[in-house]
């Protein structure tokens, strides 16, 4: 598990699974009944997501390889597709409704930590 912070140290999400394998990325959260508050899934590399066969709505944050937020999509219902754009390199998926959106906007930087040590987005795999 990893945690996600804004570059100024503000905590955003603490229980995040980092997924980089192609089969696991393709499956994502399909079949999951829900996610707990403060839980998420990072898919890399990933410029677009789908919510086919999902049971709940998602809030998603697309980010660049450098960790900059390039797109935010909230309340993505099941059976939809969302494109993060060409600058997107990865996406953080969370169950819709709990994330404090006042803490984040497009252009903000993200830091992903693993084992209590900060690292760049391209070094976690």
pTM for this model (two decimals): 0.85
Mean pLDDT confidence for 22-51: 81
Are residues 92 and 77 in contact, defined by beta-carbon separation less than 8 angstroms?
Answer: no
pLDDT in tens, 38-79: 899 999 999 999 998 888 999 999 999 999 999 999 999 999
Three-state secondary structure readout of 65-122:
CCCEEEEEEEEECCCCEEECCCCCCEEEEEECCCCCHHHCCCCCEEEEEECCEEECHH
Q: Which single residue is written with the structure tokens 């990325």?
A: 25
What domains appear along the chain, each with residue ranges and CATH number?
Answer: 2-123 (2.60.120.1140)
- Tell me how far apart the alpha carbons of residues 17 and 83 are, in angstroms, rounded to a whole number: 21
> How much is the CA Rg of the chain, to the nearest whole Å?
13
């Amino acid at each position: 598990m990893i945690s996600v912070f804004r570059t100024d140290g503000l905590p955003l999400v603490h229980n995040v699974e980092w997924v980089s394998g192609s089969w696991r990325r393709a499956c994502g959260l399909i079949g999951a009944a829900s996610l707990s508050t403060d839980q998420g899934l990072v898919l890399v590399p990933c410029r677009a997501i789908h919510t086919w066969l999902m049971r709940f709505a998602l809030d998603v944050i697309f980010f660049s390889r450098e960790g900059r937020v390039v797109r935010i999509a909230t309340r993505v219902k099941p059976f939809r597709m969302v494109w993060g754009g060409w600058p997107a390199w990865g996406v953080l998926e969370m169950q819709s409704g709990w994330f404090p959106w006042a803490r984040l906007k497009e252009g903000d930087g993200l830091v992903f930590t693993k084992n209590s040590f900060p690292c760049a987005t391209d070094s976690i795999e």
